[in-house]
């Protein structure tokens, strides 16, 4: 990401003014989004393919259009699987955000890497413990949302 974004910023200086360059927060965010795309697509695909054909046929039999069938039948039935995938992606992204400090994104990862470079365990823990806590909070929130959706569905 460093070379392509540096080239884009050199070709179009207004991108550099927006913060898009070889290092910094913007490349880190772009990399995190790109890293999350494959698991997101896989979870959406898995959710949509697990919808029983009999349910889709029943929706067609009731006269639902393809759009109505998708939004009223397939998406609600696939939502728990999709959200489980998003849960994994969110926790993974919190962890990968620590590594984003290597390209100047800052955050808790900067503290962790400063501690690793200076052999200061306190700095490492100062960066790692909040990141682990954030990952646990994100995971718990998604678990609660998924369980609430499953209770509403039943």
Domain that holds residue 74: 22-153
The mean pLDDT value of the chain amounts to 91
109 has a pLDDT exceeding 70:
yes
Kindly state whether residue 119 falls inside one of the protein's structural domains: yes
Residue 154 predicted with pLDDT over 70: no
How many domains in the chain? 1
Q: 108-117 and 121-153 are packed helices; what angle lies between their axes, rounded to 10 degrees?
A: 150
78-94 mean pLDDT: 94
CATH number at residue 75: 1.10.3720.10
1 and 31 Cβ atoms separated by less than 8 Å? yes
- Report the alpha-carbon distance of residue 65 to residue 36 in Å, rounded: 32
Average pLDDT value for residue range 18-39: 88
Output the pLDDT for position 13: 87
Does 12 reside within a domain?
Answer: no
Residue 5 within a domain = no
Asked if the structure places residue 129 within a domain, the reply is yes
Chain centroid to CA 32: how far? Answer: 8
Residue 117 lies in a domain: yes
Confirm if 90 and 143 have CB atoms less than 8 A apart.
Answer: no
Q: Given the structure tokens 């795309």, which residue do they identify?
A: 37
The residue-averaged pLDDT of 59-79 equals 94
**How far is C-alpha 68 from the geometric centre of its chain's CA atoms?**
28
Return all residues near 66 (Cβ < 8 A) that are at least 6 apart: none
pLDDT of 1 > 80? The answer is no
59, 30 contact by CB (below 8 A):
no
Mean pLDDT of 62-74: 94
Whether the model pTM is above 0.75: yes
32 domain residue, yes or no: yes
Half-sphere exposure of 11 (CA within 13 A, CB side): 6
pLDDT digits (tens, 9 = 90+) for 34-62: 999 999 999 999 999 999 999 999 999 99
Question: Which residues have C-beta within 8 Å of that of residue 9, sequence separation ≥ 6?
Answer: 15, 16, 20, 21, 22
- Ranges 12-16, 66-70, 132-136: which has the least confidence: 12-16
pLDDT of residue 14: 87
Residue 6 lies in a domain: no
């Amino acid at each position: 990401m460093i070379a392509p974004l540096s080239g884009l910023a050199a070709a179009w200086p207004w991108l550099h003014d927006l913060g898009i360059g070889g290092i910094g927060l913007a490349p880190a965010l772009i990399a995190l989004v790109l890293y999350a795309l494959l698991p997101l697509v896989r979870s959406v695909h898995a959710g949509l393919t697990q919808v029983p054909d009999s349910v889709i046929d029943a929706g067609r039999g009731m006269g639902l259009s393809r759009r109505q069938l998708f939004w009223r039948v397939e998406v609600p039935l696939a939502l728990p699987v999709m959200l489980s995938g998003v849960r994994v992606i969110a926790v993974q992204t919190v962890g990968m955000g620590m590594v984003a400090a290597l390209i100047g994104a800052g955050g808790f990862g900067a503290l962790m890497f400063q501690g690793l470079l200076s052999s200061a365990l306190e700095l490492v823990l100062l960066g790692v413990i909040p990141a682990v806590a954030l990952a646990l909070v994100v995971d718990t929130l998604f678990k609660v949302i998924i369980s609430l959706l499953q209770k509403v569905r039943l």
